[in-house]
Amino acid sequence: MPAPGAPTPALPAPTLAQRKRQLVATELTETALQLFAHKGFEAVTVDEVATAAGVSKRTFFRYFASKEDVVVQFLAGMGADIRTALAARPAGERPSAALLHAVSVPLAACGDHPERTLPVVRLILGTPALLARFLEHEAGWREELAGELAARLGLDPAGLYPPLAAGMALTAFETVLCRWSEDAGSGGGGVDPLALIAEAFGVLAPALDAVRE
């Protein structure tokens, strides 16, 4: 175990094979999500995704168990970004500020590349099966964020505050995604998801920062 204060050992660089696998996975994900978004989830076959990505159907199934699994992994990435961002915030930071920063990370990525992310967000919110998976993942995120909040604030994880605070933050996140998607779908496009989430947290901050045991 490293001595206190010693630098954290660097992780080994990925091998050529690992880098190649990651490139293929990324290409499959991008291709599949864009096809789903523009043609409809049910209309796209695994064969189409594989052909468009320049790989075989067998290769697709090395990376994903199904079409739905592509979207599930996209959602898992959003949740991991939120959790990692919250864990990295300064220990003494107000809960509202820490949670705002955490949920802003995937929203910033959406706002930076709307041509890629907006069709996918609209696909997920507008497809009942995918929306159900989104809500399922969101429930898992809430549990993870509640645990992180409890640890940061020295609270009982079984108390009311951690899950309520996590739920408020994620409700704001989901509401902003819906508003952003609807605005663009109606010909808007001027709504900034980061401005929306900041506005939402302006409403939530007094409750989030009134921490009680």
Q: pTM for this one?
A: 0.79
Task: Indicate whether 31 pLDDT > 70.
Answer: yes
| Domain extent listing, the chain | 16-64, 68-208
Task: Indicate whether 49 pLDDT > 80.
Answer: yes
Question: In the predicted model, what is the mean pLDDT of residues 145-161?
Answer: 93
Question: Mapping DSSP to helix (H, G, I), strand (E, B) and coil, where does residue 160 land?
Answer: coil
Whether 155 and 212 have beta carbons less than 8 Å apart is answered as no
Long-range contacts formed by 124-128: CB under 8 A, 24+ apart: 124/71, 124/75, 125/177, 125/178, 125/181, 127/41, 127/42
CATH architecture of 68-208: Orthogonal Bundle (1.10)
Which DSSP string corresponds to 5-34?
Answer: TPPPPPPPPPPHHHHHHHHHHHHHHHHHHH
Q: Which of 12-16, 100-104, 151-155 has the lowest mean pLDDT?
A: 12-16
- Cα–Cα distance between 23 and 55 in angstroms, integer? 12
CATH of domain 16-64: 1.10.10.60
pLDDT tens for each residue of 76-87: 888 899 999 999
Structural tokens at position 52? 């468009």
pLDDT tens for each residue of 166-178: 999 999 999 999 9
Q: Which pLDDT score is estimated for 185?
A: 53
